[in-house]
Amino acid sequence: MPAAYEQYLVPAVFRPFAGDLAARAAALRPRRILELAAGTGVLTSALLAAAPSAEVTATDLNEAMVAVGSALAPGAVWRQADAQQLPFPTGYFDLVVCQFGVMFFPDRVAAYTEVRRVLIPGGRFLFNTWGPLSTHAFEVALQAGLERAFPVDPPQFFRTIPHGYADPAVVAADLAAAGFAVEDDQELTLQGRAPSTADLAAGYLTGTPVRAAVDERGDGPAVRTTVIEEMTARLGPGPVTAPMTAYVFRAAA
Per-residue DSSP letters for 166-221? --HHHHHHHHHHTT-EEEEEEEEEEEEEES-HHHHHHHHHHSSTHHHHHHHH--HH
User: What pLDDT score does 108 carry?
Assistant: 98
Instruction: Say if residues 189 and 244 touch (Cβ distance below 8 Å).
Output: yes
Q: How far apart are CA 135 and CA 21, in angstroms?
A: 19
Q: Give burial (CB, 10 Å; 0-12/13-18/19+) of 187.
A: exposed
Tell me how long the chain is.
253
User: What pLDDT score does 33 carry?
Assistant: 98
User: Does 219 have pLDDT greater than 80?
Assistant: no
User: What pLDDT score does 213 carry?
Assistant: 87
Under the phi-then-psi rule, with left for phi > 0, alpha for psi from -120 to 50, and beta for the rest, what region is 219? left
Q: How far apart are CA 72 and CA 80, in angstroms?
A: 16
Q: In the predicted model, what is the mean pLDDT of residues 129-152?
A: 97
Backbone phi, psi, residue 181, to 5° = -105, 120
Q: In the predicted model, what is the mean pLDDT of residues 211-217?
A: 88
- Give the other-Cβ count within 10 Å of 5's Cβ: 22
User: Does 251 have pLDDT greater than 90?
Assistant: yes
Strand (E) positions, the chain? 32-36, 55-60, 77-80, 93-99, 119-130, 181-194, 240-252
Structural fold of domain 2-133+161-195+244-252: Rossmann fold (3.40.50)
User: What pLDDT score does 87 carry?
Assistant: 98
Residue-wise pLDDT tens digits, 61-115: 999 999 999 999 999 999 999 999 999 999 999 999 999 999 999 999 999 999 9
Q: How far apart are CA 120 and CA 70, in angstroms?
A: 26
User: What pLDDT score does 159 carry?
Assistant: 95
Question: Buried (b) or exposed (e) across 15-31, using 16+ Cβ within 10 A?
Answer: bbbbbbbbebbbebebe
Instruction: Say if residues 18 and 80 touch (Cβ distance below 8 Å).
Output: no
Question: pLDDT over 90 for what percent of the chain?
Answer: 94
Q: In the predicted model, what is the mean pLDDT of residues 194-198?
A: 96
User: What pLDDT score does 233 carry?
Assistant: 97
Pairing of β 119-130 and β 93-99:
parallel
Among residues 147, 110, 126, 116, which one has the least CA distance to residue 226?
147
- Residue-range domain boundaries for the chain: 2-133+161-195+244-252
Sequence-separated (6 or more) residues with CB below 8 Å from residue 60: 36, 37, 38, 39, 66, 69, 80, 81
Among residues 96, 73, 72, 91, which one has the least CA distance to residue 81?
96
Q: How far apart are CA 238 and CA 232, in angstroms?
A: 8
Q: How far apart are CA 191 and CA 242, in angstroms?
A: 5
User: Does 187 have pLDDT greater than 90?
Assistant: yes
User: Does 220 have pLDDT greater than 90?
Assistant: no
What average pLDDT does the structure give for the chain?
96
Q: In the predicted model, what is the mean pLDDT of residues 143-150?
A: 96
User: Does 136 have pLDDT greater than 90?
Assistant: yes
User: What pLDDT score does 217 carry?
Assistant: 83
Q: Report CA-CA distances (Å) from 133 to 69, 158, 186, 216.
A: 27, 7, 17, 23
